[in-house]
Structure 1
Amino acid sequence: MATTMSVSFGLVSVPVLVSPATEDHRVRLHEVHRADAGRIRHRRVCAVDGQEVAYQDVARGVELPDGTTAVLDDAALERLPLPTKHVIEVLGFVAADTVDPISYQRAYYARPAGAGAERPYEVLVAALARTNLVGIAKVAISSRERLAVLRPRYGVLTVQTVFWPDEIRDPGPAPTRPVTDREMELAEMLLTHLQGIDPAAVRDEYAEALGQLVAAVSEGRQLEAPAEPREPPEDLRAVLEASIRAALRGAQASGGRTRQHP
């Protein structure tokens, strides 16, 4: 379902319809009773009176310093004094490659809401594409304000929420073992031979394996255990050289066709 919002930058305001850009195709695993395969149902039970609560009677609550709870229903949340609740407020523009990919979260498409929004919308999308800039904005989605990145994708404006800087964990110290010149040369050569990939050709092997497991369990069969992960190589140079030879053989077997880039 699309939500009506406005993209605001400078004195320009562009009404847009915001909708999710992705969908989940995972196989759903339900909680069931091991003895008879009955579905497990989780009930909403009030901690005060012990009664089950209907969904329409569920609200949000915030515990106050004195121990009481402030109840916030949908009507109260609609009055939330937050400008970004209906406006995607662009704070500024930065080079696209300066946004750390680790910060990206969920993506949404923002399309023009009405004929009057089409011209400024198209100008914004074209300007972002030409300058290779992305917009850094604030937006309130799913009852929470987040940072977001605005960027063009195939002529459509994409709004991608990102983590706040303090939500990204420090990775800790990096390994300090020195790399030899020969190891670096071989690694770069291997990366060159393996360059390019077509994501559309990649299969979801987990979903396939889960389907095989479900079929085996339903038929009373046992599946072979998966292979153990390979240990790190003791002779890195030898493994890199062998990997390069394997990549070259693969390229020759495929008729020298180059890989597609995403």
Structure 2
Amino acid sequence: MTNPIGIHALVWAGGWSRDQARHAIASSAEAGYDLIELSALEPDTVDAAGTAALLAEYGLAASVSLGLDESTDVSSEDPEIVAAGRRRLTAAVDLVRDIGGNYLGGVLFSKLGRYTTPPTERGRAHAREALATLADRAAASDITLGLEFCNRYETNLLNTTAQTLDFIAELGRDNVVAHLDTYHMNIEETSFREPVLAAAAAGKLGYVHVGESHRGALGTGSVPWAEFFTALRDVDYTGTITFESFSSEVVHPSLSSNLCIWRDPWTDGMRLARDARQFLRDNLDV
């Protein structure tokens, strides 16, 4: 398999100042990755031109991900909150375009955080309308949108591959795909093979996050990696595979709280990144 291999920026830095961006991009290249995934919770604050220049300097590609918050939740019933969410998503698509990327993923359909009630039909309709409009804007710049279903504690709208595929079918946009994440699959799915096969059969297996069950080093938790990588090989998945891990060693002001990153499963980002790259190489080259 010759998949582009990525790493999440939060392995390196909790923000995206000029110095943090250089450190994260340079470190990703040094550790042997093809791509860095930017966490753009506030996309209009990112220096797109500076980021594009750094990516070119180090020969790295980039994707962008984000999760909406309480004030920008496009699955809200409040029209003003939905409008704010639409503006943030539009800014994120424009950021992907301006850094020379072609992928925007994450929790684009709701807030990233715990809900206390199920989604409403009106809220679901708001999310669907917002993403259909966003997909059309993204298509104009050859950008793919990936819907990352998350566990029940981080969204109430899409928790499984099946739910995500149904939602994508409702959108009816060719440039919207399913974004599978092994950390969330380990909580919500009953298999690591069938979701891969289902997404591939629908032509919607578009992006993969590899994260361990405890969000630490790959191969040290309970994710059944052999089952998952065998499924990817069986469907001839050639898309991006991005390593994602979080520790209190690197803290983002809001994301660390939303994801409940209270401890440090690792303290040395470079060692973690090199070990993860070797783990992926070993499993993908089987």
* Shared fold, TM over 0.5: no
User: Computing the radius of gyration over CA atoms, which structure comes out larger, 1 or 2?
Assistant: 1
Q: Which structure is richer in relative contact order (CA contacts within 8 A, separation 6 or more)?
A: 2
Name the structure with the higher strand share.
1
Give the TM-score taking structure 1 as reference length.
0.18
Give the TM-score taking structure 2 as reference length.
0.17
Name the structure with the higher helix share.
2
